[in-house]
Structure 1
Amino acid sequence: MSNVRVRFAPSPTGFVHIGSLRTALYNFLFARHNDGKYILRIEDTDRTRFVDGAIENLIASMEWAGIKHDEGVFVEDGEVVQKGDFGPYIQSERLDIYKKYIDELIEKGYAYYCFCSRERIDKVREEQKAQGKIPKYDGYCRSIDIEEARERIANGEEYVVRLKLPANKNIEFNDLVRGKVTINTNDMDDQVLMKSDGFPTYHFAVVVDDHLMEISHIVRGEEWLPSTPKHVFMFEVFGWDTPTYVHLPTVLNKDKKKLSKRQGDVSVTDFKDKGYLPEALNNYLALVGWSPESNEEIFNMEELIKEFSFDRVSKTGGVFDKDKLDWVNGQYIRETSLDDLTQLTIPYLKNAGYIDDKDVENRYDWIKTMVSTVKENLSYIAEITKKVDIYFNHEISSGDEEVINILQGKQVPTLLDVFREELEEIDEIDEEFAKSVIKKIQKKTKIKGKNLFMPIRAMLTGQLHGPEMVNIIWVLGKQNILKRIEYVENSILNKNIDKEK
């Protein structure tokens, strides 16, 4: 497909929603699949919702995710810059452009000045609701002569500019996901195109920008579907080619409702902060609403670009299942090299107080071994602090009855005595000691199998299952193991368990 140009056009109103990331991803995949261009445009005409720093946060989130645009708005050396032949790419810098085209629309008779107050409009709509009608503007100002309107404006009256839709006209367009869509103008409103503050509404600016930036495909959420006929109408009356529309299904939660912050993490930053890998997040998000021809679930970016098409995007909402995301992310963690994974975990381990800069400098191999023992069970990087807690907390909860029963076995005092004897013969645990000590304990005590391994694991970790014992022993070190032996002897063998734990 030649001359494909798509755009992701968010508003700088705060955090980047995970649904917005998926819209950006689909735009990016489609552009790359077709050797096209992917543009980032900032739609900031709603000044009441503008948030300082939101543009920088938005671009940082996209860069972290690896969804890189070809032209539009960038951040370089902390400054917002624009690159490309179709700028400005920030709508608030395009007001003169919108003024030119709104005047043209008025001259052609497809838009008009409206002087109705907010109170009047609210009253009309309340009356319409009471009569069971669709609430919309009643066209009160449609017939005002243009010269009269301009005189009223000159006298300082506040006004907006509205779209002048024809009566009872079917507007049709083809959507690559929805197919043919037809809506009658009788079911539509005379949309405000230019607000009283001189800024265009989304509905006007998006049409002008998409035409002037030569956008070939408009890929956006299905919430814009009811507004699209107004946009198609404006393309037609301006005499411009209408782009191809693609309205994506909504990202839903498990209850099949729109994903919102009330249900937990929904922003890209939330997932970044918890240590989800961007490759995994993209992989999973691509599958929330799109299905590949194969039954594969793990795709790198190159594979997604090769496979992606709108033919296989669902009409129904895609469910964002965090458990499935955790599974996908876990697959990527397992494929990450131990050195890279260790580097990713260090900030979380430092923040939890488990390690410090000296440990990173002098005990890196120890940290790496510790990470290796839990790597297979990580769903996201921040989870490392829970998984390695076994190395930093020697107390055992009174609620772990199975663990306590194992540690109260009649052979346990003997095992602990012999383990202590072995530890007292060395200065510090090395790899050789970690590999041999269990066999030495077995040889001295004649205790085998579960009766040997289960109590030792329970004493060391407070758990009955987990990483290899050799790594646990080496990571814990001599002093920690001695503390655990003493704790079990005093608090469990003597049954002095803190009931509040």
Structure 2
Amino acid sequence: MADSDSSAPVRVRFAPSPTGRLHIGGLRTALYNYLFAHKHDGDFILRIEDTDQSRYVEEAEADLMQALSWSGLNYNEGPGTGGPHQPYYQSERSGLYQRYAQQLIDSGHAYYAFDTEDEVEAMRERHASDDNPSPAYNAHTRMEMRNSLSLDDDEVQQLLDDGAPHVVRLMMPRNETVRFEDEVRGTVTFETQGLDDQVLLKSDGLPTYHLANVVDDHHMRISHVIRGEEWLPSTPKHVLLYDAFGWTPPAFAHLPLIMSPESGKLSKRDSNELGIPVFVTDYREAGYQPEALINFLALLGWHPSDEQEIFSLEELVEAFSLDRVGVSGVQFDLDKLNWYNEQYVRAMNAEDFAEALRTQLTEEHLPITHERLMAIAELTQDRVSKVGDVLTEHRYFFEDPTAYDEDDVESGWTDQSAELLQALAEVYDEASTFDRDVVDQGMRDVAETHDVGLGAVIHPVRLAISGRTSGPGIFDLVAFMGRETTLRRIDAVIDALE
């Protein structure tokens, strides 16, 4: 089914498991589903796949909802929104899965298995070889195990009546080829001989991902399953399940992995070692613009038909198509993301930038007046890649420097600097007013009196004010800081460096 040829309504779903904070790769999957749905006037559905209660994290769902809302990816059906196929939590649909598992047993496509984990492991050890170090539980081995195929009917019924722990397994065909068309990868084939008889229903009565997602995708009339490449090996099991039920499968599209700059899938280790955040929350808290992150992620695996780089969400919807999604993994480039964010930050109007900055300040409990907020915004907006940089790279707006950059001291502080700053402090202290013109003229007068270039005064002043020798225009910066703060910081840098 091509991404624009189907006459059936387009319905896609994003179906995360609430096992932790939303990964940046998960947001890209949600984005591609959103773009595809809106491109074809379809529905974007959120479904919570929470059947693995052992890995459930209570805060994960709230993090997910916040990330989608912050990113502007609103869904048509799902938790909190409702829809014709609710509930949208798999944990609330267990009766449906049990009914379909029984249907597969009755039709001969699945069976009860009473083996313990130790018994399954022992089987794998018995059959292990250099060529096959982890043998499958399937047609080649199932008859030597304890299941409803190897045991007689009376024994099976007695075990069920006694409540013996058991799972339900899919009966994988022997030595068959499973073939399906992938919207990204073309024709994909798998051989069943190496596949396990997949567990469909666990011993606690809850389904595995494989049964639940097939049943739900069918009941929710999902037309396209757009998900990460890591689910590609599971797809033949899903295709066989659709066949067993007699259902038409949706179209499949498996997205390329987001790779670390050092190869391998982008992981939490990269966050720790390379400074690349892997969770959406980290980007929000760091002050990235959601529009920039969405723009960057859209082009991380998909490429437009021209050289355009900056897209609004509406423009992405118009341009997006699955046939321009690549197959190979794509390296995450934080510098490129920062470039995108810089473009969006520079394009913001001053009020929006100031309000985004206020949010950052509020989170750090730094109160500020509107007048000073607007002044800081004006001084920094064209100098930062993200709003959060104001609190990291320009912390001196809110706190006196506690250290001075060694390279800047080396280049900006001379044997004469303390004398020049002391002279400037006297000029500023005696001035009847303190504004930009006074600041400017004071530095020029000191430079002329001491027969030095203006830079010999500016560099140590900037070092005193900010701890470094680069930043916003020095006259505006000193005027903003005010006389008291300027004099205090001049005294501090002299004490520290002399």
TM-score by length of 2: 0.89
Q: Quote how far apart the aligned CAs of 1:460 are.
A: 3.9
Distance 1:131 1:445 in 2: 83
Cα distance in structure 2, aligned partners of 1:269 and 1:415: 44
Match of 1:243 in 2: 250
> CA shift at 1:449, angstroms?
4.7
Find 1:182's aligned residue among 153, 170, 189: 189
Q: CA deviation at 1:320?
A: 1.5
Give the residue type in structure 1 aligned to 2:334. K
Tell me the residue number matched to 2:99: 100
The total of aligned residue pairs comes to: 478
Match of 1:38, SS state, is: strand
| Letter aligned with residue 476 of structure 2 | N
Shift of 1:172: 0.8
Residue 163 of structure 1 contacts residue 191 of structure 1 at CA under 8 Å; is this kept in 2? yes
Residues 194 and 406 (structure 1), Cα distance of their counterparts in 2 relative to 1, 3 Å cut: closer
Q: Which amino acid aligns with 2:46?
A: L
Code of the residue aligned with 2:63 in structure 1: it is N
Structure 2: which amino acid aligns with 1:325? L
For residues 147-296 of structure 1, the aligned pairs below 5 Å read 148-264=155-271, 265-296=277-308
Which residue among 2, 22, 28 is the counterpart of 1:22? 28
Q: For the residues of structure 2 that align with 1:223 and 1:111, how far apart are their CA atoms? A: 25
Compared CA separation, residues 281 and 43, structure 1 to 2 (3 A): same
Q: Secondary structure at the match of 1:482?
A: helix
Q: 1:417 to 1:394 in 2, by over 3 A?
A: farther
For 1:464, give the aligned amino acid: T
C-alpha distance in 2 between matches for 1:285 and 1:8: 16
- AA aligned opposite 1:38: F
- The answer (yes or no) to whether the contact 1:162–1:192 under 8 Å persists in 2 is yes
The offset of 1:461, in angstroms, is 3.5
Q: Which moved more, 1:140-149 or 1:462-471?
A: 140-149
Q: What secondary structure does 1:247 align onto?
A: strand
Preserved CA contact (<8 Å) 2:13 2:44: yes
CA contact (8 A) 2:428 2:439 kept: no
Residue 194 (structure 1) shift: 0.9
Q: Report the 3-state secondary structure (helix = DSSP H, G, I; strand = E; otherwise coil) of the residue aligned with 2:393.
A: helix
Report how far residue 60 of structure 1 moved.
1.7
2:314 equivalent in structure 1: 302
Supply the AA of the counterpart residue of 2:223: S
Q: 2:418·2:494 contact (CA, 8 Å) conserved in 1?
A: no
Which amino acid in the other structure matches residue 294 of structure 2? N
Q: CA deviation at 1:439?
A: 4.9
Task: Report the secondary structure of 1:374's partner residue.
Answer: helix
> Who is 1:78 aligned against?
none
Q: Which amino acid aligns with 1:397?
A: Y
Q: How does 1:42-441 map to 2 (within 5 A)?
A: 42-74=48-80, 83-130=82-129, 132-133=131-132, 134-137=134-137, 138-139=141-142, 140=145, 141=147, 142-145=149-152, 148-264=155-271, 265-349=277-361, 355-356=366-367, 359-360=368-369, 364-391=370-397, 392-394=399-401, 397=404, 399-400=406-407, 403=409, 406-408=412-414, 410=416, 413-414=419-420, 416-418=422-424, 420-427=426-433, 429-434=434-439, 436-439=441-444, 441=446
How far, CA to CA, are the matches of 2:97 and 2:411 in structure 1?
76
Aligned to 2:274: none
Distance 1:213 1:348 in 2: 40
The question of whether the paired residues in 2 share the 8 Å contact of 1:252 and 1:259 is answered with yes
What secondary structure sits across from 1:39 in the alignment? strand
Question: Of the candidates 472, 475, 482, which is equivalent to residue 470 of structure 1?
Answer: 475
Whole-Å separation in 1 of the counterparts to 2:463 and 2:89 = 60
With 366-375 and 200-209 compared, the bigger mean Cα shift is at 366-375
Could you say if the C-alpha distance between residues 410 and 72 of structure 1 is closer, same or farther in structure 2, counting changes exceeding 3 Å? Answer: closer
Q: CA deviation at 1:243?
A: 0.6
Secondary structure of 1:72's aligned partner: coil
What secondary structure does 2:394 align onto?
helix
* Change over 3 Å in CA distance of 1:461–1:205 after alignment to 2: closer
Q: Give, in angstroms, the shift of residue 351 of structure 1.
A: 5.7
Secondary structure of the 1:161 match is strand
- Give the secondary structure class of the aligned counterpart of 1:83: coil
Larger deviation: 44-53 or 168-177? Answer: 44-53
AA partner of residue 324 (structure 2): R
Q: Deviations over 1:462-485 (max 9, x none)?
A: 433321122211221101221233
**TM-score of the two chains, using structure 1 as the length reference:** 0.88
CA offsets 1:122-159 (integer angstroms, 9 cap, x no match): 11112333453242112133344556423320122221
Equivalent position amino acid for 1:132 in 2: D
- Between the two proteins, what is the percent identity of the paired residues? 39
Matching residue's letter, 1:374: T
Q: Is residue 2:23 matched to residue 1:11?
A: no
C-alpha separation between the residues in 2 aligned to 1:252 and 1:89? 31
Q: Is the 8 A contact 2:45 2:78 kept in 1?
A: yes
Q: Aligned letter for 2:303?
A: S
Give distance in 2, aligned partners of 1:394 and 1:258. 39
Q: Answer whether contact 1:374 1:387 (CA < 8 A) is retained.
A: no
Conserved in 2, the CA contact under 8 Å of 1:419 and 1:441? no
**What displacement does 1:304 show?**
1.1
SS in 2 for 1:158: coil
Amino acid at match of 1:152: L
Give CA deviations for 1:286-345 in whole Å, capped at 9, x if unaligned: 122111222222211111111111111111112122222122112211112222222222
Alignment of 1:39 onto 2:45: yes
CA drift at 1:241: 0.9
Q: Quick one: distance in 2 between partners of 1:449 and 1:125?
A: 79
The one-letter amino acid of 1:377's match is R
1:450 matched to 2:449: no
Question: C-alpha root-mean-square deviation of aligned residues, in Å?
Answer: 2.4
Contact 1:41 1:73 in 2 (8 A): yes
Gap runs ≥5 in structure 2:
272-276
